[in-house]
Every structure is written in C-alpha cells, then in structure tokens.
Chain A
C-alpha cells in the first residue's frame, strides 16, 4: 500500500464508510470501535425495555402483567444483557477507538483478531436474543446459581442457548484481551512509559488484565455448566459441593467483573475532570497505584458474596478484611477527582456533567456498599432491594460516566459537535430519573429481590421508582435524537474542540486519518511529536507542518499560546509510514510484513465468517439433545463453515501494524505474536486451574479417599504421557528444521508430532470405549463426570493442536515458515503444544493415580 493509495483510495482498499460492505470487512480499530458502540447501544435498549417491563410489573404489589416464569426470564435476561452485552462492550467501543490513539499506535497488534472479537460479540448477543424463541431464555438469575441452572430445573433449549451465548461472549473477550494487552505493552509511542499512559488507557490496561483472568474462570464455570446441560455430566447437581462450587467459580469471576465494569468509567471520569477543570489530576501516581491495588485485590474478595453459606467465621473475617481493604483505594480516587476541581476553570459541558454526576452516584453507591461490607448488616441485606439499589448506583453510576464519554468523544469520532442544549436536557432527565428510580429502593429495601409480589406498604416507593425508570428512558430518547441529528447538522469541529484536552487523540483531525498519525508519534523529548522516518532507519525530525492535523493543532489557541514551537516544528505531518521504517532495533517484523509491496489488505471477511459459523454451531449444540435432526445438522454445518473460515483466515496475507520505535517495557525482547501467545496461554492456565480446582473442591467435599479413581488402569495414561512428551520433542525439532530452512525436516517433524498426537487420541479412545462398555459414562457419577470433562477438554486442546499442525504441514509443503522470520509461527505453535503437554503432566497424576 503506498502513500498515494492511502490518500486517494481513502482507506487502504476499504470501501467508504457509507458502504455497508465496509462495516462487514473492516479491521480498523476506529471502525471496530464504532461497531462496538452502536451494537452495545442496541443492547442497552434491549435490556432497558426488559427493565421497564419489570418496572411496570412492580407498579402494584401483586402479579399482574408478566407471568411468574416470564418475570424470572426478564430479570435474568436484563441482568445478563446489561452486564455482558451492554456495559463492557460499550466501554470497549471507546477503548477500541481511543486507546491506540492515546498510546500512539496505528492500530491494535492483531487487527483481524480485533474484528473477530467484535463479530463474536455481536453473534453471541444475537444468540442470546435467539434464546427467547427456543422455549424461553435462561430464568435462573444473572448469577445462575446451581443447581437451578441444571436442565432438571430450567429445562428449556433457550436456557442452554443462553449459556452458550455467554461462552461465545467469553471467547470474544479473551481474543480482545490478548489483543489489547499485546498492543498496550508493545506499541506505545517512544517516551510513553507505562506509568505515563493517559488515565483512560491505564484503566483499560488494568481492565483487560482483570478480564483475561476473570473471564477464564467464568469460562471454566460455563464449560462445566454447558457440559452438564448438553453432554449430561453431573457436576453442579452433585450434592457433594456442586452448588457451592458454582458460587465459588461464579463469584471468583463476578467480583473482578464489578471492577471490569467500573474501571473504564473511572478512566473517563479522570479524563473529563482533567479536561473540563483544566487541571491535571491530583495525586496521579497514587491514583494509578490505587487502581493497580484494586485490580489485584479484586481476585481475593469473592467470598463476601457468600457470607450466608456455611463458611467459617475465620474465612468470613478474612474476606471482610479484604473487602474493606479494597474499598479504601476508591476513597483515594474519589478525593483525587474532587481535589482536581480546586483551582480549576470548570466548564459545565455535557461530558463534564455526566462525569460529575457519575462521581456523585458512585459516592452514594460506595457508602451504601460499606453497609454491605459489615457482615452483620450484609446478612439482612442479602437478597433484598438494598443490594439492587447499591449495585445499580455503582454500575449504572459507572455507565453514567460512559455516557459522558460518548459525548466527550462524539466530535472526535464524527467530526461534528453534538447539540449542547439537548445534551444538558439528557443529563437532567438522566440524573433526576436515576435518583427517582433507585433511591426509593433504599427506602423500600426490605423488598426481596427478584420477586413480583411484595409487601403492600412499599407500593408507593416502587411506583416512584417506576416513574423514575420512565424519566430515565425519556432521557435516552433525547440522547438518540441528539446523536442522530448532530451527525448531519452538528457544527464541524477541528482536531481539538476541548480546551485543555491533552492526550494524543486530540492532536489529529476529527475523525483521525486512517493511519491515525501523520508520522511516527514520539514523546522522546517530553512532548508529542510526529517524526518522519528516513530510509536508512534513522528517524528524522520533520521540519514543516504540512498536514491538516498539524494545522489543527497549531490553530488551537491553547497550543498556540503555550507552545513556542507550535508553528510546525513540533507537530509534523510529513509522509510517514511507521511500518516501513524498520531498522535493526526493530526486531519485530513479522513474515507478513515482507509482503508489504504486495499490498496486504486491511479488509477481511473471515472474522465475520467465523462469528457466523460460531453462531450456527452453538445454536445447533444448544438443542442437540432434542429429537430432531435440525440441531445436529446445524452443528455440522457450523463446524464445516468454521473450518473453512479458519483456513481462509490462516492463508490470507494481511497488514500487520508495527512500530519502528516504541516503548515496550517489560516485553522488549518478545515479538507481538509470541507475547500474544503467552497471554493467551496465561488465560488457559486459569481455565485449567479452575477446572482442576473444581475437581479438588468436589473431591474434598466428597471425601478425598472415598473417591473412586475412574480409570482402573494407569498404564494407558502413562503411555499417553510418553507419547505427548515425545511429541514435544518433535516440535522442537520442527523449529530447528524451520530455522535451518529445511522444508523436509520441518514437514517430517511436524508429521511426527501429528502421529504422536493421533496416537495419544487413539489410546484415549480405546480407554474411554472400555469405560463406556463397563457402564461408566459421563453422567454415571460425579467422579466420572470430572474425569471425562477435564481430560476431555484436554483432548480437545490436543485436537485443535493437531488441526493447526496439519494446516502448517500443508503450508510448509509450499515452502512456508523457513528462516529466522518464518519459523516464528512454528515457535508459537510449539508454545501451545508444550503447554498442552504440561497440562497433561498435571492431569495424569490427579486423575489416574492419586
């Protein structure tokens, strides 16, 4: 892709934004960000309509409009949609759009994976929507407690569909976490050390780290649940701890999730307070330290959701202490935001009002949360509207800041200003509606949660709340009208419409050019500059400001008065393509980059195709136990489509963003691909860790020694251990051969790996066959369930590894993967394969010997 092509064809071979096709094939982070934002707003409406439905039902104290079972579906779907399909994706719309701009990257590290995250998200949401039409969606609450989540109690196909939809959503989150982490750790502009990241980027960085691990635990829980519902294992209905196991797994995910939801909002508050108060945040380092502490500690408080179970006083004390501990850093953050206003020059723009409102709501939510931290009070509040009011103040309080973010970045994204008056109207309706909706719930706190029949004496309060709900909804009508109208009628803005905005997204035009920056961004000498890379790899300072962007920046009055060199010496817009400025220090070139001259594309249909295949497959799986051929057929079609799409994705030549010079601490020595693989494996460690933990938990509850080890004979397992270990060795040989540029050696070693892997599966097949023969099936006992599920998941990892290896053999036969560069992919595969082998080394003793 040449510079002119960029300029003239507009967008690197992508159709223009007005064409539908563009949105189906795009991989650009800004487009994906917009897709996320629009889709999540759709789910806001979906979840909001369900909420209003509940508020209508709660108008009187007795059951009226919604049938009992339907109410349970409504409350469950509302919670799941708002938490999974609205609030985080909304925040990640901004993250997609803004983070690369803030850190000085041209795009995320793996643009196609980014598009894939989006499509998986969209299709998971659609799958969830579909669940309503398959006998009713899941009705066991968003916490999905066991054993109510078992088919015996929630038998609909739609219930299973909803569970699978969540699994698909987790897949989206995992892909996205890997992508963001790689990008944020390896593609920061020179001089932008981790500590110097703008606060919104900081919150996203911590959010994705939390997501990576928390969602892996959720995936383990959902895998077991899906297996119980589809395959017929009996994990969560085991009276030996099955019910508690779910609670542990769910809340191990669930508490970090609270911060996953809230952190991006905090980041937006920090940005908006800085910009609209015209003050840098007070105690910035402490603010960051507090967030880091919260992010880590969030994994050690989950049992405060289980104070009413039979856990001992000691454990309650411990978790009470960690819970108070985690509330304190928030005090610090709140005060930091408040003190940022002092000596400020505060402009009450819509984004500021929303951020300010969010802080007020969060303070109320936080104070009422301290009540819940006192175990004695929690005993009574559990399961009541106190909790409902509290978490809405915190979570919807967070969403308040996200709406502020929508207004804040609207001019950046669209190039036009929203209507300030309508924005303020929205804020007033929102803030009044919000408090009218949720504050009465504190007063009527003795109403139990998730009921449609409550005590007569609370009717007035619930009616107030219902009115508040409709006022809040009216505010959103104003918002949608404003956003739509301003798209055409809004005043056009230049790069930076906000005085005192400081982060890099404001230094380029609105909307930013396709490649984001007019040159390689650098903070090397303390200020943002765009460098012009020269041929030999030396990076020259562009002397003149020729691009619009530089002019924008120069035209900004604030910049003009404060920056002596703003006549163009600082912000330069010379032709610059960071990706060709590769020098010796840039050890990051990927093989695809060599194809630069062959015009690698920015467009790909494959992420969409994979998302669609996943949708079809999971839809089929959810009803596969039904007596119709349709569901198995759907599954089969989906799998074939998926295989086809993955191969297509693997064979496509594609544009890979690279930065010649970047801050990469602490991963200087690791290329993007390898780092991505490591991060992915880290989440897989948590997945298997959770499954092994579940096994140990159930086994302890059962009685460790009373437990029957399922395979009577450890010998097949032992043989399999040897097979896998040998295959690890052949993978190493494959890498050596690839580096020595020996196609024959490479193909032979990969072939041997495949042979060992097939041997492993064959051996396992025989072993399972025998067990089935004796009547030991997946559902015959909890021992059998844990054995088949955990080793089965491992076998699935082996199968995926084998498919990748077969694909690589096919490519290698055509001469791929040779040399230092080319062998990298073999190395990544090797990492995966070794990991799978190591997992087996844990599973073998646990399931065959102990």
Chain B
C-alpha cells in the first residue's frame, strides 16, 4: 500500500488523482473519468456553498446576539405570548436566495444529466472495438463470470482498452456487483438482469465486491478482476472453453478465490497497478 497517501483514498485521492491525471486524448471516456470529474466539481461547489451558508449563519448568530445593541433598535416587532402566529417580512431576500440555490442545484444536476445517457449506454461500436460481453452471477458469497464461449470463471479476466459489457443477475438473494476502482456498479437481482459496462485503461489487479447486505458472508463477498493487455487476453481466452469450466467456487467466505485462475494465466508478463488499484500485485507466470 506504499503508494497510498497516508490517509488512504477517498477525497484525498480523488483530488490527487485529478491533478495527476494523464489520460491520453484517444482513450475511451471511462466511467472512472466521468465520475472523477463530476465528483470534483460537486465537491468544490458543495464545499463553497456550505462554507458560505454556514459562515453567514454564524455571522448573523453572532451579530444579533442578545446584548449586542443591534437588537434594541426599537423598530423591530417581537413575538408576543398569545398572538396568532404570523410571519416577518423579508420575503424578497428569501426568494433571491432561494432562486440562487435552486439555480446551483438544478444546473449542477442538469449538467450531470448530459453524461447520464453515455454512462448508461457506454461507447458505441463505431467509437471502439467490439465490446466483450460477460455474464455475472452473484451467489452467497461469491461471483461467477461467464464468457461468450461458455467458459465460466471465478476471476474476472478482461482485456485493457476494450469495452466490457456486463449482464448481472443473482442465483439467490439481492446482491450488488461493483468494482470500485473502475467505477462500475449495478444490482444483482434474482430473476432479473441488469446491464452495465466499463473500460479499463490500465492493466492490473482489482477487486470486485458486493454492495448490498446479503448474509453473513457479505463482508467477504469479493472476486478478483484482472486487466491484461489485449494480446494476452486473447492467448488466455482462446485456450478456454466451456468444457474446462471450473466448478463454482466454494462457499467458504474466507477462501481467496482467484489465485487458481491467476495461476492459469500462462505467459502473462508482470503487470503493475496504476495508482488507483487495490493491491500492487504481480501476476506470476
């Protein structure tokens, strides 16, 4: 974890990563990039609004404190016991502030709405390589990935720079599939399928995990995600078929699934993680 800033990821990382970001112009726009950009803008504006409003409140609370003299100017009418409730004036100021805050909120959300369509649908075929379609099935407590050729795996092995389209469902209870470093997440609902996508710009090993409480093993319901170069992926994939499916991983939540699969990644050279990966692991031949 040496590359993590002392206090880990979270806000700090988003800002640091934004500053360091060096995505090439020809990259596909990833969900990671979109999220980072929007989050940053929200953070800056949200913090500014919060600071201004709370500061203004505190200033007023201080300025108009009892005994400060400001209060006793005489012309202010004060509530009296037993009066019929009514309001003070000041409606104009109220509406101006309201109007401004509404503009901020609506334009912020409206702006994010512009990318929602893309975020939902992903890049079109014309923009990129053909997408790789993988089915994801959640179960208590693990994940299973089924490739187009029928091969199933407990590690999600995917090629770099190619859209990965996931169709997600569950075998038992409600789970939520997410790969935080790729900013991809969707519900895994029994009897339903949901779709999502991502593009990994960097190779490395990441973690997929469950985001909906699903039983006692929920905390441990993870799977490895390995992003490799396209050529390596082909080597790996072409040697897989439905016939040599591994059996569904056992239910022991403590079992680290995935090592077996990594072992099969014959001929894959070492991959180091980019700075937003979980573990700077190396995939041994």
Contacts and interface: CB of A to CB of B under 8 A. Distances in A.
A and B form one complex: yes
Interface string A272-296: 0011011111111111000000000
B261 interface: no
B7 A461 contact: yes
A283 B50 contact: no
B213 A141 contact: yes
A563 interface: yes
A286 B46 CA distance: 25
A500 B211 contact: no
B250 to A, nearest CB: 17
Contact of A502 (B49, B82, B115, B185): B82
B108 interface: yes
Interface stretch (A127-135, A236-244, A580-588, A710-718): A236-244
B213 A148 contact: yes
Chain B binding surface SS class: mixed
Contact of A331 (B9, B50, B101): B101
A570 B83 CA distance: 11
Range of interface residues on chain B? 35 or more
B179 to A, nearest CB: 11
B98 A331 contact: yes
B7 A148 contact: no
A85 B38 CA distance: 38
Contacts of A458: 8-10
B105 A345 contact: no
A63 B209 CA distance: 17
A338 B55 CA distance: 11
Interface string B158-199: 000000000000001110101010010111011111110000
A368 B46 contact: yes
Interface string B183-223: 10111011111110000000000000111111111111000
Contacts, number: 332
B56 A374 contact: no
Interface string B89-123: 11101100110011001101100110111011000
B187 A308 contact: yes
Contact of A308 (B72, B81, B186): B186
Contact of B172 (A153, A191, A345): A153
Given A308-B186, A356-B57, A383-B178, A282 B82 contact: no
A143 B112 CA distance: 28
Given A153-B215, A461-B7, A331 B105 contact: yes
B39 interface: yes
A484 interface: no
Interface stretch (A5-13, A257-265, A358-366, A809-817): A358-366
B18 interface: no
Contact of A284 (B7, B87, B97, B190): B87
B2 to A, nearest CB: 11
A377 B35 contact: yes
Of B76, B140, B218, most buried by chain A (CB within 10 Å of CB) is B218
Given A308-B176, A363-B50, A457-B4, A241 B88 contact: no
Nearest to B10: A443
A460 interface: yes
B38 A284 contact: no
Contacts of B216: 68-69, 72, 139
Contacts of A500: 78-80
B218 A72 contact: yes
B186 A283 contact: no
B100 to A, nearest CB: 9
Given A346-B66, A377-B42, A324 B109 contact: yes
A370 B109 contact: yes
Contacts of B76: 278-279, 343
A145 B212 contact: yes
Nearest to B189: A243
15 contacts: A68-B216, A145-B213, A242-B191, A280-B77, A313-B120, A331-B105, A339-B90, A343-B76, A347-B66, A364-B50, A371-B46, A377-B39, A380-B180, A445-B10, A457-B9
Interface of A: 63, 68-69, 71-72, 75, 139-141, 143, 145-148, 153, 191-192, 196-199, 238-244, 274-275, 277-287, 308-310, 313, 316-317, 320, 324, 327-328, 331-332, 334-336, 338-348, 356, 359-360, 363-364, 367-368, 370-371, 373-377, 379-380, 382-384, 442-446, 448-453, 455-461, 496, 500-504, 506-507, 523, 526-529, 553, 556, 558-559, 562-563, 570-571, 701
**Closest 5 CB pairs between A and B?**
A284-B87, A457-B8, A383-B211, A239-B191, A528-B82
